């Protein structure tokens, strides 16, 4: 079964209608939408002393947490709280919880964090050295045969766009970085101190220079609501400094940046980051790809019109006599 990136998983989960958002529907969705491991990397943190619970998304309806632990820990510390027979631990927080993978220890997804050496080897069952569980914890009260009507998801879904995505190698080029609210049901506000960052990866260009201030497309907030964008090395930062204002669906803001493309054909990446709080989901996409090529990145333009007639040039110097004239002269006087 093909896995999906975490942002696509979140988008699909939020797309489930109020009427369909029930235990069976959510369980079926989790079963059919395995999450791609690489897309979870920004949320995975391991400790050799205890499990870690790393928040990916939290809103009025549910939260998504990446629960990471090392299988070398004592078994009683393994946080498979939804399955007390495996862990001996009390049930996970109040509300209804589902695992995004089959609930058996052997089927937990294995990830090897760099430099990790498991302890208590004698206590490890026939299991991977590390384990990851993606836990979907619904903060809703369950009734005997139904679930309370779900609230419409109203948080901001920051969607990042990079335009254009392709550049000619070795040339100074410009691009536009923008953030829009991709949730049509959102009613949350931009607030003082909301920060958006764009980090260019290694080999993704040099000499970054801002070509504009913050550019805005909105009926609620303006250019004056943002501080001056900044460049620090390979990172561009946009900070909201105004009063709390609606970030309406489809509204956007961004900045124009110039940079020097690398000299070789290659691919690069831009890692965007938005505010981490209950008003926002994770940025979509988690990584934006850009490409550097050795051919023109746009079509050739049409031939321009003929220019005006140029001025008559200066008269050239007198040339020497040709051989024919000399022969005639000799015949006349010979």
d(CA 271, CA 287): 5
Domain boundaries, the chain: 6-138, 158-293
The CATH number given to 158-293 is: 2.60.40.1510
User: What is the predicted pLDDT for the residue at 111?
Assistant: 44
Pairing assessment for the beta strands 130-138 and 62-70 based on DSSP bridges:
antiparallel
User: What is the predicted pLDDT for the residue at 253?
Assistant: 98
Q: The pTM is what? A: 0.53
User: What value, to the nearest 5°, has the Cα angle with vertex 177 and ends 56 and 296?
Assistant: 125
What is each CA distance from 61 to 8, 35, 319, in whole angstroms? 18, 20, 95
pLDDT mean values, one per 10 residues, the chain (334 residues) = 80 78 78 80 72 73 74 49 40 45 37 41 36 42 32 80 95 96 92 97 96 97 97 97 97 98 96 92 89 86 86 86 61 55
User: What is the predicted pLDDT for the residue at 330?
Assistant: 56
Q: Residue 193: left if φ>0, alpha if ψ -120 to 50, beta else—which one?
A: left
Element (H, E) at 84: helix 84-87
């Amino acid at each position: 079964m093909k896995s999906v990136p975490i942002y696509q998983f979140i988008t699909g989960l939020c797309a489930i209608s109020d009427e369909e958002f029930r235990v069976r529907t959510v369980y079926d969705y989790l079963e059919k939408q395995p999450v791609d491991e690489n897309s979870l990397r920004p949320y995975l943190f391991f400790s050799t002393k205890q499990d870690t619970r790393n928040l990916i998304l939290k809103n009025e309806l549910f939260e998504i947490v990446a629960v990471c632990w090392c299988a070398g820990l004592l078994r009683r510390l393994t946080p498979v709280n939804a399955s007390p027979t495996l862990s001996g631990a009390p049930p996970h927080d109040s509300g209804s919880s589902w695992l995004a993978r089959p609930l058996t220890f052997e089927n937990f997804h294995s990830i090897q964090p760099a430099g990790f050496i498991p302890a208590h080897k004698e206590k490890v069952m026939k299991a991977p050295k590390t384990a990851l569980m993606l836990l979907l914890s619904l903060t809703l009260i369950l009734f005997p045969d139904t679930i309370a009507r779900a609230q419409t998801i109203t948080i901001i879904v920051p969607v990042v766009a990079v335009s254009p995505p392709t550049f000619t190698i070795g040339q100074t080029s410009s691009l536009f970085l923008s953030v829009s609210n991709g949730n049509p049901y959102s009613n949350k506000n931009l607030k003082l101190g909301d920060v958006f960052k764009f980090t260019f990866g290694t080999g993704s260009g040099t000499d970054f220079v801002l070509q504009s201030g913050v550019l805005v497309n909105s009926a609620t907030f303006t250019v004056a609501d943002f501080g001056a964008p900044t460049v620090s090395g390979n990172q561009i930062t946009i900070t909201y400094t105004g009063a709390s204002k609606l970030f309406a669906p489809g509204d956007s803001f961004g900045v124009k940046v110039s940079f020097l493309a690398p000299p070789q054909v290659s691919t690069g990446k831009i890692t965007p980051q938005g505010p981490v709080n209950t008003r926002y989901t994770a940025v979509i996409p988690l990584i934006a790809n850009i490409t550097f090529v050795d051919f023109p990145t746009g079509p050739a333009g049409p031939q321009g019109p003929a220019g005006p007639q140029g001025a008559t040039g200066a008269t050239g110097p007198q040339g020497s006599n040709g051989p024919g004239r000399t022969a005639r002269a000799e015949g006349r006087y010979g």
